[in-house]
Structure 1
Amino acid sequence: MPHTLSKYGYYSSSFQSLEREMQMSTQVITIGAAKGGVGKTTITFNTAGFLNKIGKSVLLMDGDYQGSLSSIYGKFDKSIDGTMYSIFDPHDGPVKIRKITDKLSIIPASKDLERVDIITSNRPNQYFILYEWISNNMDIVGEFDYVLIDTHPQFLTMEKNAAVISDYLIQPLGPGRFDFNNAIVDYTERFNEFKKQLVDVKTGESYVDAQLLYLGNRAKTNTTSSHEFDESLKEIPDVIDLMHEREPMNQSILLGKSVFEMDDLPNTAMAEFERVFSNIVSKVEE
């Protein structure tokens, strides 16, 4: 449903204040995709692992109602309360941040996140709910160097809330030619349309200033298709890097440890992991 600009005018000063505070301290990165199967959660999980390795603290937010990221830490079942859903439903009780290690915490997902579009449809602040929660809890969120948000492969209310507070949106791209092209067009168009929708009535500037980046993923090693994939990525601006299909990445999810916590990885694999995730950090800290 189209929104009028006046609905967002009263957010201007407080939003800019939060934006300045976040920019001074915490980097917010959303990992999103137009379709599943491109390694979104695996990348989120291992980005957190790399950030922890270099001494950065991370708050994970699992905004995908399938709960894959939360499941890695054993935090996805009906007995878990205070989830991401609690941010959107004021009757669901307070949000609880679960500490995993000294440098890693998570707000887990809930299957109820599938209902977010329904329960927020008549709220004038529909796309600012996550922003308001962070604003009210900046004393806690601001203690983390990074917030990583894993989202469902779509671009609806949950994903739009994440876009509002993010510095960067990273979209993993798989090597299939048809899926590759459609994913770029679909996600990019949805994102750009949303930016135009959320415009400050006084300044004419969008509240959404996240930069959309791409990450090639799951390319086969030394194949014609992988070379074609690599060449296709070179034609797209804002591509971070290309990562090949490697078994340690799949194992990381099964073992519940990032590739940077594994022993005896092949040198070529570890060199690629170090390069790719270093490039992610370098890009967002430019």
Structure 2
Amino acid sequence: MRFHHVDVFTDRPFNGNSLAVFPDADALTGAQMLAITRELRHFESVFLLGEGTSGPHVRRARVFDLAGELEFAGHPLLGAAAVLHALHGAADHEAWTLRLTARSVEVTTDRRGPGRYASLLDQGAAAFLGRPDPDGLAALFDLEPGDLDADLPPEVVSTGLSYLVLPVRGDALARARVTAPLDEPLARLGAEYAYLLDTAAMEGRHWTNDGVLEDVATGSGAGCAAAYLRSHGRIGAGQERLLRQGRHTGRTGEMTVSAEGDGRTIHSVRVGGGVALVAEGRLRALPPA
């Protein structure tokens, strides 16, 4: 089975967030997809299904990280669309519909040069799920209460996955680390993940909930950050801003974010970035079904 190795949220290979894209995965079971994802050790892998059923511009997509299948993700969908453009796109600008288990999303792609694309994902509307008491939140990341941005409240936001958006200030972003598993404290807040955000520097950080891995660039988290920034008037309606992430991992990710709407009614969130095609490969064998 063939696959493509791409780097997302970057304009050059060996940077940004790496990803494996399987464009013809109809024969695989979910268990095989998870086993392959764990074997390749990318942060996530995406498997495309249904070629020929609705035309090349509409595909089903299943996204896995090392723990299991995700209902939504950012960088896998952007990378998948770029691979579809490379394989099936006749024009320099193309539009794709990717059908996840829970919903469908639209992704547009533009050819930028040999092996280089720009992808833009419309994540849809944002949901604001609550503003938790900030007491104790800084300690989850080995920070002090004074490291939190006093002008902006912590808030749980979702554009598909729910994130605790935690604004920090000064050098707190650089000092932050996960000292204990986050699953239980986040679940009590109604969140699945956490995204630390320095609004002055327009930079974020995100880890797996066990703190073992730090993500280079988190498209789903960036979408929640964009909705949060618009809701609090830190970016204009439809204004595109650059959000950086990953410098503490040795790689860098650059995400363009924007949001339409006002207050807590954010009806459209877009996240985009560059995609660099790095390699193509073929599995010699498949894991047990």
TM-score (normalizing by structure 2): 0.28
Q: TM-score normalized by structure 1?
A: 0.28
